[in-house]
Amino acid sequence: MTPLTEAASADENTNSTDDKGNLLNSRETFSKKHKRELLRALTERARQDRCACKDHGAIPKWADYPLTEKHIDAHLDGRRGCGIGLMSPGQSTTKIALLDLDSHNGETTFDDMLLTAERLCAGLKNTCLRPTAFRSSGGAGIHLWMIWDTLQDAYSVRRTLVTVLAIEGFSEGTGGIAAGQVEIFPKQERLNASGPGSNGNMAILPFWNKSEPLVDEFDLCLAAAIPESAPRMAWQVSDGVPQLAQPVHELEMAELAPPDPIEKIARALAAVAPLATELSTTSAATNYDTWRNLLFATHEASGGDEEAFDLFKEWEGQNPVNAGRRPTRATWDRCRDNKEGKRITRGTLYDMAYKLNPEWNAPTADGLPDNLPAPNETEAWPAFQRNTTTGDIKASKDNILQALSRPDICGYQLRHDEFRDETMLAENGTEGWRSLKDTDYTELCLRLERGRFQSISKELIRDVVAYVAEANSFDSAQHWLDRAQWDGKPRIERFLQTYFCVADTPYACAVGLYFWTAAAGRVLQPGIKCDMVPIAVGAQGMRKSSAVAALVPAPDFYTAIDLSSRDDDLARIMRGKLIIELDELKGLSSRDAEYIKSFITRSHEEWTPKYKEWTVRYRRRNMFFGTTNKDDFLADETGNRRWLPFQCGMCDPDAIARDRDQLWAEAREQFKAHGVLHQQAERLAEDEHATFAEHDEWDNVIHKWLREPDFAGNRTPFEREFLTAGEVLREALCLPNSQIAKQQLARVKKSLIRQGYTYVNKRVHGVKKRGFLPPSLF
């Protein structure tokens, strides 16, 4: 049960308080007609053939009828809540998305919840999304709804929201704000056309129980709506999200394996027959979990075959405890995942069969078994150290190391991905690699302890897992790039002209060659020097960010950052990314020039991960790519060489996605042949920087003053051998000393540097002063 469909409070009073503590009643804040109009924006975009309903104190459930005006009346009157499906069966698109911010046990105050929602609203608005905020039906959380007029790819919507959450320091999950997790709806990227998996998750509509709108009162300052704000309360339609290509490995994982022969399933159930009797002596919870897992595993192995259903009923009939739990046909048809959302597959059944009888699938008189064992399954069982009294395997480091080094024993393959800098695991005999989660340590402990290991501490299993994984390191980025096959057609030299609608110039060609050889270099030689950043300059709506996001093979390899964030936070976000967007150059103006130069030229990041004692040094694997609407952002003359700005037109992210593998493959070949091609881009960029230099109205005033002689007709200020900022402020701009502050001094400094002056420390009449030398001295 998700927070969106939480049970109503025993107190059915819909009163709530505003940010000043005054009681509000959402039923009085908006007229019923206005509420109905607001809800219509959601119901018209939702699934039409059925709805969800929720009674007070009851679990919400799907109904077999469509939503009608009568149901909306009951919802608004507080008699019975209504819910909607965000996607339709057999579809992978949606017009609605939702972020669910929750506090399950009151660990986050509502004031803190509002501040978090404001941060997320700002992050969403920096993309293409326009959130509308409501208090949750339980009153403790906040729902951020987003709607579109056209269908959006659900995968792209979810990945966009995941990226926004990551930028703000959150991840997707049900743990609540205190745990740094926010739920994303829809939860699925595609629904089945019928049967299990065809409904998806429901969302209870606003204005139920304690739900009330939270309006944007003062520039992202959310507050409970008051009557005067009702006329201003309206949905904002979001712009379309960038279309992202779903990674191939995820598509492959989504396809079901063909059913196994019924004879093999029968042999496996026969091998686990002792469990039927053993379960009668275990706790009810253990009994049910094992029964359920075997039921689901049998269903998956057979593809839901009727004969396998009969085999399972025969097996579990041997356990008298199951007499009242005999599965019905409806139970069999609903088999899917366990409570944690992990898919229960035939591997669960076969793993239990192997532990109870290693010869369960051995060759018979009829020939070979249905599946030949992997090579390590033929190895001898390790000589574990055991308790001499009980025969249990001791929970020593050496014993655990031997077990975790054998996927056929622990059930998982463990490896360390140097690109992601994290431990990865996959079920034995599969290629379904994913990041290790905290719950996986518990799963490994349970698997070993079921195999007669003594109780294993989480700290011990964590240390041994890291040891085994690092002994089996690999680099997923290099593995991916090495497999790409180039067709021989050159693309990267004219990359900007083809995909960013840039004028055909030698500079554009040089930037394209630099960017792609540097990107390939960072994959093949981690931390290689790449200290220049392309910046796409163009009007809003040119799809600049979408084009940058399309450069990576999967959304997980892209992110956007704010340069004003803390270094530790940036280091964690940047890990395992191929392309990092400096979106609208956020944070560039809030940091001093020396920090920006240091950050851009850095070859590695350092931070101390959770559960680690020592600082980790991670060599950079990414390339930066800037985007901005401004055309006068270059303020530091000495640091401008780091930037490669270019004026772009309408970008073509779809074409980039289409040719992406070829671009990367060519970049790999060019890098291997020539290294990072930076010379031409660096040389030609000098003539481009003036076009994008920061302009100040003081520049013209100071320029004119520098070239005008004083009243006596003496030499001009430009002819002086040394100038101070104070002299310029007093003489050129006529500011009295009382109005001169650090901000004005910095502004003059930038202006003089733009006009060719050099900032130095110099002794004047024995006194050390800071000032400027004119270009004539050089």
Q: How far is CA 406 from CA 277, 382, 464, 470, 691, in A?
A: 29, 9, 13, 15, 62
pLDDT for residue 418: 92
The Cα 467–Cα 475 span in angstroms is 17
Strands, E assignment, 212-365: 213-216, 222-224
Domain ranges of the chain: 3-232, 254-372, 397-474, 481-692, 697-777
The residues pairing with 693 across neighbouring beta strands, listed in sequence order, are 634
* Token pair of 212 as six digits: 């009330």
Neighbours of 178 (CB within 10 A): 14
Which ranges of 690-754 would DSSP assign to H, the alpha helix?
697-706, 725-727, 742-754
Mark 86-123 as b/e (b = at least 16 C-beta within 10 Å). bbbbebbbbbbbbbbbbbbeeebebeebbebbbebbeb
Q: Are 616 and 421 in contact (CB under 8 A)?
A: yes
Residues 6+ apart with CB under 8 A from 490: 666
User: Per CATH, which fold does 481-692 belong to?
Assistant: Rossmann fold (3.40.50)
The Cα 374–Cα 408 span in angstroms is 9
Helix (H) or strand (E) holding 185, with range, is strand 181-185
- The DSSP call for residue 645 is E
Report the candidate in 130, 116, 111, 143 with the shortest Cα–Cα distance to residue 208: 143
The Cα 199–Cα 88 span in angstroms is 7
* Token pair of 276 as six digits: 């039927």
Report the candidate in 687, 705, 677, 681 with the shortest Cα–Cα distance to residue 634: 687
pTM: 0.48
Neighbours of 618 (CB within 10 A): 19
Q: How far is CA 739 from CA 704, 730, 742, in A?
A: 22, 10, 10
The residues pairing with 203 across neighbouring beta strands, listed in sequence order, are 84
The Cα 663–Cα 512 span in angstroms is 11
pLDDT for residue 374: 37
Q: Are 146 and 97 in contact (CB under 8 A)?
A: yes
Secondary-structure breakdown of the chain: helix, strand, coil percentages, each rounded to the nearest 5: 40, 15, 40
Q: What is the mean pLDDT of each run of 10 residues along the chain (778 residues)?
A: 27 37 42 89 93 84 91 91 92 94 88 90 86 91 94 90 86 87 90 78 91 68 56 78 59 49 84 63 54 82 82 72 59 60 68 72 41 43 79 90 91 92 88 88 89 89 93 91 93 97 95 97 95 94 94 93 86 91 84 82 78 74 93 68 92 95 96 95 89 79 85 78 88 85 82 83 81 77
Which ranges of 525-566 would DSSP assign to H, the alpha helix?
544-549
Q: Are 666 and 490 in contact (CB under 8 A)?
A: yes
Residue type present at position 436: L
Angle at 475 between CA 470 and CA 480, to 5 degrees: 155
Return phi, psi of residue 286, to 5°: -65, -40
The Cα 771–Cα 162 span in angstroms is 49
Residue type present at position 587: G
CATH 3.30.70.260 fits 3-232, yes or no: no
The Cα 474–Cα 539 span in angstroms is 42
Four-point Cα dihedral 322, 327, 331, 336, nearest 10 = 60
pLDDT for residue 639: 56
The Cα 316–Cα 325 span in angstroms is 9
Return phi, psi of residue 761, to 5°: -105, 130
The residues pairing with 145 across neighbouring beta strands, listed in sequence order, are 98, 132
Report the candidate in 377, 375, 343 with the shortest Cα–Cα distance to residue 360: 377
Q: Are 84 and 205 in contact (CB under 8 A)?
A: yes
User: Is 3-232's fold the same as 481-692's?
Assistant: no
Q: Are 619 and 477 in contact (CB under 8 A)?
A: no
Report the candidate in 476, 548, 516 with the shortest Cα–Cα distance to residue 664: 516
The residues pairing with 99 across neighbouring beta strands, listed in sequence order, are 144, 184
Report the candidate in 748, 765, 629 with the shortest Cα–Cα distance to residue 692: 629
Which ranges of 438-539 would DSSP assign to H, the alpha helix?
438-450, 458-470, 476-483, 495-499, 506-524
